[in-house]
Structure 1
Amino acid sequence: MNHDPTETLEADYVIAGGGSAGCVAARRLVDAGHSVILLEAGGDDRSAAVYVPAGSARLVGDPQYDWKYEVEPDPSRNGRVDTWPSGKVLGGGGSINGMLYLRGNPADYDRWVQQGARGWSFPEVLPYFLRAERNENGASKFHSDKGPLGVANLRVSHPFNRLFVDACVAAGIPRNDDFNGATQEGVGYYQATQWGGLRCSAARGYLRPISGHAKLKLMKRAFVSRIRVRNGVAEAVEFSHYGVAKLARARREVLLAAGTIGSPKILMLSGIGPRAELERHGIACVNDLPGVGRNLHEHPGIILSYDVNMRTMNVDAHSRWRFALRALQFALLRRGPGTSPISHVGAFFRTRPELPAFDAQLHFQPMGYEVTPDKVLLARANRVSLAVNVTQPGTRGSIKLRSPHPQDAPLIEHSLVGAEADIRTLIDGARAMRKIFSSPALRDHVQKEYLPGEGVSTDEQWEAYVRAGAFAMYHPIGTCRMGDLADPSSVVDPELRVKNIRQLRVIDAAVMPSLPSCNTNGPTIMVAERASALVLGAPLA
């Protein structure tokens, strides 16, 4: 590639990254009358593979839609090498994820404030969740029906869902009909980022309505190489468009929205990051920020699955005539298995009754999966599955440069179950679920425990299962964390401005100081909503 730009573009704002956060910011800035250049390294999202919800499991691991970042061998899991997904498509992770809409626990955001993110307490971020949401259940104290992001109830049901919810309630987990309402703890049905039976990513909800706007220049297959900084000011973004070097100048600000993996990589390629790390690759350091790439969080989870005596949705998918029937149901009514998100029933529960608050999340689905290091595949047996994950993990990882070449993937280092407390939580959570599956409410429907298998019973056997089979829930955050300016580990201030650099902000999940106790797409959209308001100088009251 020729590194001298052949074309220079200019706009009020340049957004590097067209994932969930980038789409939100582009919409809000264009609505406010500003010109925007939105650079997305992936391709277009308008395909049945993206918009038909049941196809989400197939998107992960598909190089057309997924960057498929390989993680370094994990010492906490016997050197296992994982592949972490990242959306290689307009809409980013929100175009390939499991579509569950969650906000987390109010205490999560109060914790952010304690970690130096002033202005991000739950009462202060709730208006931005509301601004984003268009909930089909209507408006209330905790919900809005006016926002761009469609949030809908499930349009698919299965008898085992109700059986499982009833069994959890019988075991002492309270029923919760709204995880995003007054309380998060309990068991109930998830809502999904869908509208009319189709996926509603930020690309569909926010960007599609302004796709022809004169103020928006959207460039797909635009691979960002670095941010050009001069005299402490972010002036422009260097990128390649179909292999041709170009430059996008920002009259007002550059907004970095390349995600938890991409944003720190771009900062470091731009000379912003740990000096020793940059100099190791021959990159001139323009801003020594030790926190860039550090503080990587991820939710560790394990899977349990059971063979049952009723037909499950994955078996329907392997039957040609049943698949054809379900496809017709989807085409005509936008209902049925074609609308299925990755999970149907959720729970936020305490793995030990003496705990002061819940410490685990549950994803249940009336279908069976085979989880490999880089793919999620449908099983062929009548099987139901559930994943238990730690809500507040204790381990931290990092993103580093592999080389000074922008096209090279970064180094991702993370010990997923490196904290003994997390292993304990996973074991206790799995044992609680096993007890539920052997309860009177379910045992007549269960034929056998497929994973981990009844041979796993002692603490040692459970720990071996966790270390062999634990997997990332695909919720990475934190690598450009916000905090107090005096905190040497913070990268951006509470207004998301990169320390010591003017006209540059990070506006995606990388800025989160710690994990929300839930899936992270909803919180990422909230961050971008608040970022847009801060950029415009119009924060919500």
Structure 2
Amino acid sequence: MNHDPAETLEADYVIAGGGSAGCVAARRLIDAGYSVILLEAGGDDRHAAVYVPAGSAKLVGNPQYDWKYETEPDPSRNGRIDNWPSGKVLGGSGSINGMIYLRGNPADYDRWVQQGATGWSFADVLPFFLRSERNENGASQYHSDKGLLGVANLRVTHPFNRLFIDACVAAGIPRNDDFNGPVQEGVGYYQATQWGGLRCSAARGYLRPIGEHKKLQLLKRAFVCRVRVRNNVAEAVEFNHYGVAKLARARREVLIAAGTIGSPKILMLSGIGPRAELERQGIACVNDLPGVGRNLQEHPGIILSYDVTMRTMNVEAHSRWRFALRALQFALLRRGPGTSPISHVGVFFRTRPGLPAFDAQIHFQPLGYEVTADKVLLAEANRVSLAVNVSRPESRGSIRLRSPHPQDAPVIDHSLVGADADVRTLIDGARVMRNIFSSPTLRDRVQKEYLPGEAVSTDEQWEAYVRAGAFAMYHPVGTCRMGAVDDPQSVVDPELRVKNIRQLRVIDAAVMPCLPSCNTNGVTMMIAERASAFVVGTK
């Protein structure tokens, strides 16, 4: 029998997770006149490292802002163990990410529909992207300037960006001035989730403007333990707030928005998931859903970097007087390197002739960095870098409970490059980029290939480099995937309702049937916008 803790809160809706999806849903439900309890396990987002875009390098891997989930040894990468970032702060991963704003393309959502997500075609989801977006370039068929999420052009430039774009165009990759317009393929500048030169997370864009709204109970450092279910109805959320057990009752619904890693964990702790696994942990199964925690997907990437003949942004960061000058530029004008997202130029391209669509993405930056198992480090040489990643990976993994104790991190099992096709795409994409850096447009500017180095040339050498150095692009999705009700592996239906449980939805990246061919934060906020419309009946 459940006994209520000493303190019980109550609202129309309880949202478990104050990340990108949770902040979006909280604002939209409050706008609709409902009361909301928003539970965020992390702390406040009002820190310079969060709002200053270039501060993102100090967030990932920092236990103050990042849960730093540790994976199991990856057999596809020589047993490597990684830390997977997840935002431990209001705004979630949208408060620590690289701020790239992308939506993907119609084919991505066609794949969702084919996998049972009826009603999630691009035509269906575009209005919710528009509802979210406030684009500084103004309104058009594909853009809105009325939303709450600031989307802006880069406020920093570097001459190597233009050189790289010109080299890609000379190699036959079309120029694209809007990856979120009618066509995604091509090369051009990214837009970022920023406004006025500052990061615009869902916390800043959606929650900050309503301040201490009387219908919002926002609790930070509120660690969700489980959803209380009785007679197949989600009634409340049990959570720990500064060491005190509390209960949040939902008069209407509970919405889970704890992310691809956190949402399946909460479901399983609540008795919703694969029966055998729950019973192995001593958890009573109230809803046998074998798909909970399965279908984990992530974009695998590898680094190429080049020492060049011009000063790059990372060298400026290591110079005290230049750093001071750039800091002043940011303070006075909100421009310059302080506004830099993690990448400046994007490329969506075909790694081999004859492919029906692009199969790889590039994140290019006019700076050099090194990716370790748990952090990103700036290099000290004049260096530019790019990450090649697979747009639609075939590798799959899972999230499982480590124990029945909510405080224990889950088990993340994922063979990041376990599919041979993904390894092939990374190798072919890297070779395309190597050819571009040896082309007439760039070769006089390049001193040497730092990574992987020109000694890597054969298929076997490239595969060894991939298996030693491939890393996650920090875009995990899919562990509570939506699909048809009669699909035994789906967790939520196309209106994001957990199967067989009333008054319970999952509303974040975990519901994606498969990865979109792009960064995922903008897509996650679209899902939360649509979830809010389902909840209030304005779908």
Q: TM-score range by the shorter chain?
A: over 0.9
| Paired-residue identity, % | 87
Residue of structure 2 equivalent to 1:61: 61
Distance in 1, matches of 2:115 and 2:334, equals 44
Maintained 8 Å contact 1:370/1:378: yes
Residue of structure 1 equivalent to 2:312: 312
Residue of structure 1 equivalent to 2:259: 259
Distance in 1, matches of 2:28 and 2:301, equals 35
Distance in 2, matches of 1:196 and 1:83, equals 32
Secondary structure of 1:150's match? strand
Cα offset, 1:4, TM superposition: 5.8
Residue of structure 2 equivalent to 1:285: 285
Secondary structure of 1:138's match? coil
Residue of structure 2 equivalent to 1:418: 418
What is the CA deviation profile of residues 398-431 of structure 1, one whole-angstrom value per residue up to 9, with x for unaligned ones? 0000000000000000000000011000000000
What is the CA deviation profile of residues 428-448 of structure 1, one whole-angstrom value per residue up to 9, with x for unaligned ones? 000000000000000000000
- Structure 1: tracts of 5 or more residues without a match: none
Distance in 2, matches of 1:96 and 1:71, equals 19
Distance in 1, matches of 2:409 and 2:36, equals 27
Secondary structure of 1:463's match? helix
Taking structure 2 as the reference length, what is the TM-score of the superposition?
A: 0.99
Q: Does 1:294 align with 2:297?
A: no
Secondary structure of 2:307's match? strand
Maintained 8 Å contact 2:4/2:247: no
Residue identity matched to 2:411: L
Residue of structure 1 equivalent to 2:431: 431
Residue of structure 2 equivalent to 1:324: 324
Residue of structure 2 equivalent to 1:184: 184
Residue of structure 2 equivalent to 1:124: 124
Secondary structure of 2:332's match? helix
Secondary structure of 2:252's match? strand
Secondary structure of 1:465's match? helix
Secondary structure of 2:427's match? helix
Residue of structure 2 equivalent to 1:335: 335
Residue of structure 1 equivalent to 2:446: 446
Residue of structure 2 equivalent to 1:519: 519
What is the CA deviation profile of residues 259-314 of structure 1, one whole-angstrom value per residue up to 9, with x for unaligned ones? 00000000000000000010000000000000000000000000000000100000
Cα offset, 1:473, TM superposition: 0.2
Distance in 1, matches of 2:363 and 2:440, equals 21
Secondary structure of 1:460's match? helix
Query: What's the Cα RMSD here?
Result: 0.8
- Structure 2: tracts of 5 or more residues without a match: none
The count of corresponding residues between Structure 1 and Structure 2 is 538
Residue of structure 1 equivalent to 2:77: 77
Residue of structure 2 equivalent to 1:533: 533
What is the CA deviation profile of residues 133-155 of structure 1, one whole-angstrom value per residue up to 9, with x for unaligned ones? 00000000000000000000000
Residue identity matched to 1:413: D
Residue identity matched to 2:60: V
Cα offset, 1:6, TM superposition: 1.8
Alignment of 1:75-474 (within 5 A): 75-474=75-474
Residue identity matched to 2:463: E
Distance in 2, matches of 1:464 and 1:238, equals 47
Deviating beyond 6 angstroms after TM superposition, the runs of 4 or more aligned structure 1 residues are none
Distance in 1, matches of 2:437 and 2:114, equals 39
Residue identity matched to 1:371: V
Residue of structure 2 equivalent to 1:506: 506
Distance in 2, matches of 1:188 and 1:121, equals 26
Distance in 2, matches of 1:427 and 1:274, equals 37
What is the CA deviation profile of residues 191-247 of structure 1, one whole-angstrom value per residue up to 9, with x for unaligned ones? 000000000000000011122110000000000000000000000000000010000
Residue of structure 2 equivalent to 1:476: 476
Maintained 8 Å contact 2:478/2:512: yes
Distance in 2, matches of 1:211 and 1:243, equals 26
Distance in 1, matches of 2:362 and 2:282, equals 45
Residue identity matched to 2:462: W
Cα offset, 1:250, TM superposition: 0.1
Maintained 8 Å contact 1:74/1:414: yes
Distance in 2, matches of 1:345 and 1:335, equals 17
Maintained 8 Å contact 1:296/1:397: yes
Distance in 2, matches of 1:513 and 1:155, equals 35
Maintained 8 Å contact 1:134/1:150: yes
Distance in 1, matches of 2:132 and 2:4, equals 40
Maintained 8 Å contact 1:4/1:245: no
Distance in 1, matches of 2:105 and 2:178, equals 12
Distance in 1, matches of 2:506 and 2:342, equals 29
Secondary structure of 2:449's match? strand
